[in-house]
């Protein structure tokens, strides 16, 4: 695991946030659950329904297919830095504000060996947990790890928690 503060150049990061967080044209699609039970690949929910068990996402790229007009921009911005050989997924995540922090169920993004780059787009008290370590959302902080089990959270001190999740080999 590696944490890199000021991952992107300030101007690049500011433009990214403008395009993703504060754009009226950036669709965020809502999901009524955050993770699946590892043994249950159906669409059934794995945890009790709660107001904190939802999130929004925007898929940029998944399994060899482009799903967003932002793909060329993301490719230009991230490939030179992460130097992937093979791209699995790029997605934007949004976890809404809650009155107390809720930790989502631990999971792995994919069952196969891969790397993850998680870039925080804003600063808040939400975090990603890997093992016992909490990595807090700090604007322009990247968390790089080998796709091991982790979990996300909501936040209480911002309108929401934004990050970009890139899975690659």
Q: Which two tokens stand for residue 125?
A: 């008290």
What is this structure's pTM? 0.90
Mean pLDDT of 160-167: 97
pLDDT, tens digit (0-9, with 9 covering 90-100), for 107-159:
899 999 999 999 999 999 999 999 999 999 999 999 999 999 999 999 999 99
State the CB neighbour count (10 A cutoff) for residue 8: 18
- Return the pLDDT at 37: 46
Cβ of 11: how many Cβ atoms within 10 Å? 8
Q: Find the domain containing 103 and state its range.
A: 2-36+45-168
Q: Secondary structure of 65-108 in the HEC alphabet?
A: EECCCCHHHHHHHHHHHHCCCCEEEEEEEEEEECCCCCECCCEC
What CATH number is attached to the domain comprising 82? Answer: 2.60.120.620
Sequence-distant (6+) residues with CB within 8 A of 65 are none
Kind and range of the H or E run holding 20: helix 10-20
Distance in angstroms (rounded) separating the CA atoms of residues 106 and 104:
6
Q: What is the pLDDT of residue 50?
A: 64
The span from the CA of 144 to the CA of 141, in Å, is 10
Mean pLDDT for the stretch of residues 16-31: 92
Read off the pLDDT of each residue in 72-93 and give the average, rounded to a whole number: 97
How far is Cα of residue 96 from the mean position of the Cα atoms in its chain?
13
Is residue 130 within 8 Å of residue 148, measured between CB atoms?
Answer: yes
| Pairwise CA distance, residues 131 & 134, whole Å | 8
In this predicted structure, what is the pLDDT of residue 105?
Answer: 86
The pLDDT tens digits of the residues spanning 26-82 come to 999 888 777 754 444 444 444 444 667 788 999 999 989 999 999 999 999 999 999
Q: Provide the number of structural domains found in the chain.
A: 1
Tell me what pLDDT residue 34 has: 77
């Amino acid at each position: 695991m590696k944490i890199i503060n000021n991952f992107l150049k300030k101007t690049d990061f500011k433009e990214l946030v403008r395009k993703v967080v504060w754009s009226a044209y950036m669709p965020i699609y809502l999901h009524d659950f955050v993770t699946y039970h590892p043994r249950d690949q159906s669409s059934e929910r794995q945890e009790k329904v709660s107001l904190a068990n939802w999130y929004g996402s925007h898929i940029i790229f998944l399994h060899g297919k482009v799903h967003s007009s932002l793909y060329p921009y993301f490719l230009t911005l991230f490939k030179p830095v992460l130097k992937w050989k093979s791209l699995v997924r790029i997605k934007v995540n949004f976890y809404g504000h809650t009155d107390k922090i809720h930790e989502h169920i631990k999971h792995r993004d994919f069952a196969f060996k891969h790397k993850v780059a998680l870039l925080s787009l804003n600063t808040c008290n939400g975090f990603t947990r890997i093992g016992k370590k909490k990595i807090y959302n700090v604007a322009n902080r990247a968390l790089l790890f080998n796709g091991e089990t982790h979990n996300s959270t909501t936040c209480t001190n911002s309108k929401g928690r934004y990050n970009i999740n890139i899975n690659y080999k």
